Amino acid sequence: MKQLILYIFLFLSLLCKSQNFELKDKNLIRYYELTNEAENKILNNNLIRANHLYKEAFREFKQPHAKDLQNSMTVALKTNDLETAYTNYQALKCLGKNFDNDFVTNNFNNTKKYKTIPCQNAIDLNYKKSLDSLFRIDQYYRKLSGGNYQAYKKELTKNDSIAANNLLKIIQKKGFPNEYNIGLEMKSQVYFHDFYLIIWHQLATNLYSHQQVNFSNEIIKALNKGKIRPDIAGFLLDLNNNTYNYSFFKIYQFIANDGKNDCCYITEAILPEKRAAEIDIKIKEINRKRKLIGLSTTEEEVHKSIFFLNNKDYVFTSIAIEGFNFKNDNDANVMKKNLIKLDDTPH
């Protein structure tokens, strides 16, 4: 009997780990289909079509993500659709985005020609203050350690537990925070909120602070309410569950002993003819799971990331460049044999 119970427990554990998280809201599914396609059109410089797709997307979902508002505004400016650009500019201002003082005068000849739209959202300053307080707890010993987290393992464990458990409580009480109720994170070029780091540090493989809270259920609920972007949701779900369901292609840089960076590289598997059969199967499974939460394919994502390296007017994904440091240059060169150099531009 005990053995049977053990088998059942193991089966349920495997089932939970392999479960498919899914976006079910039909309007949001359509919204992400349209914005993903709009981003593809930007890569192909078909900005008129991209402009149309963003307009259609914003009819599906009335609280578009800041990155989509920014991309739509940029596309509208480049296609001289100033009315749409000004509407998106106002929406971003309502979310708290700071623009250069001369942004309006440089881009809009006469703002009186365009309709003024009152802000539809209200920033909850008390909620933001609470989140900022939890973020300070999360960061305190990380900053104090100077990178030597092992020396502060006990303190990190305690503070991470306090921050994570309190974040869970406040989310369950007030709802998942996003840019429409706490405003934008100004320090992040890709609108990555500080409180996401508290969830990040609950990764299942944390060496310094054991996971106290798995935020997966809250992330999926937030995803289905449009409170979190699919790219960030997938990233955090993988961390919280020790999975690799939503990412394959990554951009790499090599850091030499003298501090110089050699960027940027990508695995040669980006070319279909270079993929082994098992790699191709893995990529197809990742793409299946990505689609379930509203993401484009991992191949499309990396093309957008490459584009973003040289086109900071747009924001597509929460890009991260992974670094390697080898004491021996020969070791680095061995790894580079299976990588493709993207270009010689420093990033």
Tell me: the pLDDT tens digits for 159-180?
A: 999 999 999 999 999 999 999 9
User: Does residue 221 carry a pLDDT above 70?
Assistant: yes
CA separation for the pair 317, 302 (Å, rounded): 9
Tokens encoding 88: 């998106």
* pLDDT number for residue 345: 43
Tell me: the pLDDT tens digits for 267-283?
A: 999 888 989 999 999 99
Please tell me the least confidently modeled range out of 80-84, 145-149, 156-160, 221-225: 145-149
Report yes or no: 220 and 260 within 8 Å, Cβ to Cβ.
no
Range ranked top by mean pLDDT from 142-151, 248-257, 312-321: 142-151
pTM: 0.88
Tokens encoding 157: 């464990």
CA separation for the pair 226, 301 (Å, rounded): 20
User: Does residue 323 carry a pLDDT above 60?
Assistant: yes
* pLDDT number for residue 320: 67
* pLDDT number for residue 324: 77
* pLDDT number for residue 7: 38
Tell me: the pLDDT tens digits for 247-271?
A: 898 888 888 777 678 888 989 998 8
Long-range contacts of 77-86 (CB under 8 A, 24+ apart): 77/107, 78/47, 79/47, 79/48, 79/51, 81/51, 82/107, 82/108, 82/114, 83/113, 83/114, 83/115, 84/51, 84/55, 86/111, 86/114
* pLDDT number for residue 318: 66
* pLDDT number for residue 217: 97
Decide the pairing of beta strands 321-324 and 251-255: parallel
Contact partners, residue 285, CB within 8 Å, separation at least 6: none
Confidence of residue 319 (pLDDT cuts 50, 70, 90): low
Kindly report the length of the chain: 347
What is residue 17's three-state secondary structure?
A: helix
Q: Return the H-helix or E-strand segment holding 261.
A: strand 261-267
